[in-house]
Amino acid sequence: MTIAVLTSGVALGVHVPGLLLARRLTEAGVPVRVDVLEDHLPRRQRDLIPASKVAFHRDFRVALAGQRLAGRNAAALEEDSVDVLLAEWEADQVDLVVVLSGFWLPTVHRYASRHAGVRVHSCHVDAVASPSFESKASQVPESGPPPYAHEDVWLLEEAGGTVARTIPVSRAEPVPWVERNGRLLTHGGGWGMGTYRSRAADLGGEGFSLDVVAYEGADVAAHDGRHRYFMIDPSWHPWHDRGFPPFGRIEDGRVDYRRREDHHDGFDLTREAVAVVSKPGGGTLMDSLASATPVVLLEPFGGHESLNARLWERLGFGIPYDDWARTGKSFSVLERLHRNLVAARARTLSYPDLLATSR
């Protein structure tokens, strides 16, 4: 019996949590496979994705418009490729399918309807259903209740002053506050979207030391010795392999890309920072909880991230950028949020552990 974890490569905030779930299940001795949606798209459609990534990075307004269009115009998967995939699932005796992108749901419905005992989890990394789950392309035929067990699993469901469950990024304990490096980590999620670059410029001008995740050469400002720049290999895409994104520090215009086996390398920067300055994507909040590093919340990417931000603020795990600015950009405020996160981690259940014990 095998668990199939279904991700999408157009959103690292979905793909990386899927990889983490698979790693944690493998560590527990549970057979698991990871499948990426874009492996089964028509090649001409997949080849357009890198150009969209650049456009979305350069202009957040384009990204917001593209998000609205994607839900209406998602490409159909190639039938022959899906037939091969379903045969693989059958051969692997897949009995639980964990769906992180709603665009997979019609394919999953087709498989689960034909195989008795298959369970389906729609695993939501955001506080509400993301556009992929709300899209017309994710809808399955309405012919009564599905002939299989389906459950919505919410990783950002509020419970007892924390979130009910999470996917552990690492088994390591958070770095104590007094051992943090005093730096702010600024990024725009897997596609480098949002207003983080202008905020980074402001913070750098005010004397803060930054770690900046760049997405193209133009993102790297002149070095003044205080800031460090990092990059995900722009030539890599999740449909190339099932590893974490190659990641490295930019030094003298060169990057030595590396990647860990157990988690994404960018998380190591999160663990050491005093805060992450970013839009409130689900993957970023997962990193925040795992590392007990607060988030200075920037403008969200759509309504689902707006609700993510409200949740993190309500739980005392994050603070909107403008509110933090009104405190004088105080590190003592960040330390208080860090301590809230430390206390909350112990009360948050591990979703992969729950899956492993239910086998």
pLDDT-derived band at 190 (thresholds 50, 70, 90) equals confident
Instruction: Share the mean pLDDT of the chain.
Output: 90
**Does residue 255 contact residue 276 with C-beta atoms inside 8 Å?**
no
Judge whether residue 64 has pLDDT over 70: no
Q: Three-state DSSP class for 182?
A: coil
The beta-carbon contacts of 73-79 under 8 Å, at least 24 apart in sequence, are 74/103, 74/132, 74/135, 74/137, 74/138, 75/41, 75/42, 75/45, 76/137, 77/37, 77/40, 77/41, 77/107, 78/40, 78/41, 78/42
pLDDT-derived band at 110 (thresholds 50, 70, 90) equals very high
- Does domain 177-348 sit in CATH 3.40.50.2000? yes
Worst-scoring range by mean pLDDT, 38-42, 112-116, 347-351?
38-42
Give the list of residues 6+ apart from residue 106 with CB closer than 8 angstroms, or none.
Answer: 137, 138, 139, 140
- Residue 54: per-residue pLDDT: 59
**Does residue 242 contact residue 34 with C-beta atoms inside 8 Å?**
yes
pTM over 0.85: yes
For the record, the structure tokens of 215 come out as 């997405």
Neighbours of 223 (CB within 10 A): 12
**DSSP assigned state of 15:** H
Fold (topology level) of 2-168+350-357: Rossmann fold (3.40.50)
Task: Count how many Cα atoms sit within 13 Å of the Cα of residue 113 in the half-sphere of its side chain.
Answer: 13
**Does residue 4 contact residue 89 with C-beta atoms inside 8 Å?**
yes
Which ranges in the chain are annotated with CATH 3.40.50.2000?
177-348
